Amino acid sequence: MKTPLTLLILSSILLTGCASQSKVTLLSAAGFRTVVPNTPAQISQLKSMPQRKVIPVVKKGKTVFLYADAANNSLLIGNQKQYQQFQQYNLQYKIQQDKEAAAALNADANAEWGAWGGLDGPFWGPCFY
Amino acid sequence: MKQLSLIAAVCLLPLTGCSNLPEKRMELASAGFRTIPATTPAQLAKLAALKSSKVVPVNGKRGTVYVFADHQHKALIVGSPTQYQKYRAIKLHQQKIDEQLLDAQVNMDNADWSAWGPDAGWGWSVASDPM
């Protein structure tokens, strides 16, 4: 069951189009907070991390999830719950995309058959009876 | 040509159940599984001993838990029996959608393009379609 918030998030992602931007939108919507590095050491640390991938790490005995984006000079940080929420949004986003792709393919296939006039059209209609 | 696409689609059908690693993470975390990175040599050794690509039941201190070894992230993804059931439901739902997508692809391949002229369906006129 999709909540209005989820629908809003998914539709805003569909409008943005870009994959990495979509990921950032989903992460932010799930509650990940964005941290901008201030010092040269922080910037260099950000650059040394795997880029644009959500990775789990342990900090002070707790699991946190990091998403480094050096090109945009930002690091997104989330906890276990926020990661689960992010993956739920991700799943719903994928389902929606797959459904839309199937609907588009079906619509195109119907359009092609429709060119023959459909099942009631001239080729399949009264002339066969 | 159409027959080839149909055969390929039918052959791919049983494979739709197999998700790749990012998809697996997505399905498991969506079901409530927790990701626990391995930090000690003992944890890393235990993780290495686990088969990847399979969610397996393990008897823990508090009963059965389901684990998945994420070797790429060097992490164990752990869930309860309830979360495992939810994961199975998500997977089933995903499979249905994948099958619908496959069906739509087959419908599209079987659509009769000849009404659009002799070149339709054989290259440029279809490739230039906005789809």
Q: Tell me what percent of the residues of chain B surpass a pLDDT of 70.
A: 69
**For chain B, how far is it from start to end, CA to CA, in angstroms?**
20
Q: Which residues of A lie closer than 8 Å to B, measured between beta carbons? A: 55-58, 63, 65, 80, 83-84, 86-88, 90-91, 94-95, 98-99, 101-106, 108-110, 112-113, 115-116
Residue type, A114: G
pLDDT digits (tens, 9 = 90+) for A23-49: 999 999 999 999 999 999 999 999 999
For A73-107, what is each residue's pLDDT tens digit?
A: 999 999 999 999 999 999 999 999 888 888 888 78
Residue B60 reports pLDDT greater than 90: no
Q: What is the mean pLDDT of chain A?
A: 82
Chain B residues with CB inside 8 Å of A91's CB?
Answer: 26-27, 30, 90
Q: What tokens does A43 get?
A: 């910037």
Q: Give Cα separations from A114 to A27, A77, A99 (angstroms).
A: 43, 51, 22
Nearest Cα neighbor of B13 from B87, B129, B95 is B95
Q: Is B112 on the interface with A (CB under 8 A)?
A: yes
Rounded to 5 degrees, φ, ψ at A29 are: -65, -30
Asked if the Cβ–Cβ distance from A112 to B116 is below 8 Å, we say: yes
pTM of the model: 0.72
**Nearest by CB: A87 against B25, B94, B104:** B25
Q: How far is A6 from chain B (nearest CA, A)?
A: 14
Q: Dihedrals φ, ψ of A37, to 5°?
A: -65, 140
Query: Which B residues in the span 16-75 are in contact with A, Cβ-Cβ below 8 Å?
Result: 23, 25-30, 32-37, 39, 73, 75
DSSP state letter for A74:
E
Is residue A6 pLDDT above 70, yes or no? no
Q: Are A56 and B73 in contact (CB under 8 A)?
A: yes
DSSP for B75-119, please give it. Answer: EEEEE-HHHHHHHHHHHHHHHHHHHHHHHHHHHHHHS--GGG-TT
The Cα B88–Cα B79 span in angstroms is 12
